[in-house]
Amino acid sequence: MEEQINSSISNLTDKLSNWLDLIITNMPNIILALVLFGVAYFISQRLHNWVYKFLRNKIRQQSIRGLIANFVSIIVIAIGIFLALSILNLDKALTSILAGAGVAGLAIGLALQGTISNTFSGIFLSIRDIMNIGDHIETNGYRGSVEEITLRYIVVRESDNNLVVIPNKLVVENPFKNFGLTERIRTTIECGVGYESDLRKVKQMAIRTIQDSFPQGDKNIEFQYLEFGDSSINFQMRFWVDATKNLTLLEAKSEAIMLLKETFDAENINIPYPIRTIISP
């Protein structure tokens, strides 16, 4: 029994002695690896702050700026760890870590496929600058102003004040209309005048009325007579308005209708409505 104890102590002493010799022999590599990792960590923190500040004027969403900055920081730290392990001649350990990371990444990717898709879609929406907070959009059957853009979803406030949460993936994969991408929108109104009207005069008056209230810049107002209707000669007008929201477009159209009605009334131009005449036998 005593011999076994002495043998175990001797083996333990030999192992500790070998480890100590190994540590002393590799002390320069250990110090170099620690210094390299420290430098990588320092660079990652500085790079994180720089990327976050750089994206402040390009991406409004704080969560997405933080995600990108953290991702860049993690990459730098990972490179520092791999270089440190290589200096310590732990290539096998490095290979095992990479293999394990690949398997784990595959499993996590399959489990979080929907979440990852929404996350990258959110980053795409922010970086491409095709949708911003405050824009009036129409997507997936919903219409309203964008209240929030996160890594997983966007929040749209409809005209009735209801909030709709839409996953980013659905926004990216389906067509959507953003009224905020352009500052000028062309709208169309239709009307009719009586058969006794001077059509050329009606055209001149209508164009002048719209031109005075809605400056067109270098654009022209389109005016076309469409048909001989049952009780009127019908026409349509297409003109440009400054509008970044669908509501503004509707307000401009409403204002144009009122202006045309006032102009026609002042010039005694009739806007007829259908009349049914019943003849008794």
CATH number, domain at 20?
1.10.287
Tokens of 183: 């500052």
Whether 104 and 161 share a structural domain: no
Whether 23 and 104 share a structural domain: yes
Q: Which domain range does residue 217 map to?
A: 184-266
In this structure, is residue 280 part of a structural domain? Answer: no
Mean predicted lDDT score pLDDT of the chain: 78
Which of these ranges, 36-50, 108-122, 156-170, 251-265, has the smallest mean pLDDT?
Answer: 108-122
pLDDT tier at 262, thresholds 50, 70, 90: very high
Whether 150 and 96 share a structural domain: no
In this structure, is residue 58 part of a structural domain? Answer: yes
pLDDT tier at 34, thresholds 50, 70, 90: confident
Strand, coil or helix: what is 191?
strand
Instruction: Give me the mean pLDDT over the 8-13 stretch.
Output: 62
In this structure, is residue 236 part of a structural domain? Answer: yes
CA torsion, points 264, 265, 269, 271, in degrees to nearest 10?
Answer: 90
Whether 215 and 172 share a structural domain: no
Whether 159 and 78 share a structural domain: no
**pLDDT tens, position by position, 145-204:** 888 887 788 889 888 888 999 888 888 888 888 877 777 788 899 999 999 999 999 999
In this structure, is residue 2 part of a structural domain? Answer: no
Q: What are phi and psi of 132, to 5 degrees?
A: -130, 160
In this structure, is residue 193 part of a structural domain? Answer: yes
Tally of domains in the chain: 3
pLDDT tier at 104, thresholds 50, 70, 90: low
In this structure, is residue 3 part of a structural domain? Answer: no
Q: How far apart are CA 37 and CA 87, in angstroms?
A: 11
In this structure, is residue 272 part of a structural domain? Answer: no
Which of these ranges, 43-57, 198-212, 244-258, has the smallest mean pLDDT?
Answer: 244-258
What CATH number did the domain enclosing 150 receive? Answer: 2.30.30.60
Whether 160 and 193 share a structural domain: no
How many percent of the chain have pLDDT more than 70? 71
What CATH number did the domain enclosing 254 receive? Answer: 3.30.70.100
Whether 225 and 137 share a structural domain: no
User: Is pLDDT at 260 greater than 50 in this prediction?
Assistant: yes
pLDDT confidence of residue 112: 47
Whether 54 and 73 share a structural domain: yes
Q: How far apart are CA 136 and CA 247, in angstroms?
A: 9
Whether 174 and 229 share a structural domain: no
pLDDT confidence of residue 257: 92
Which of these ranges, 18-22, 26-30, 262-266, has the smallest mean pLDDT?
Answer: 18-22
Examine the fold and report which residue of 56, 80, 111 is the final residue of a domain before the chain moves on.
111
Q: How far apart are CA 65 and CA 58, in angstroms?
A: 9
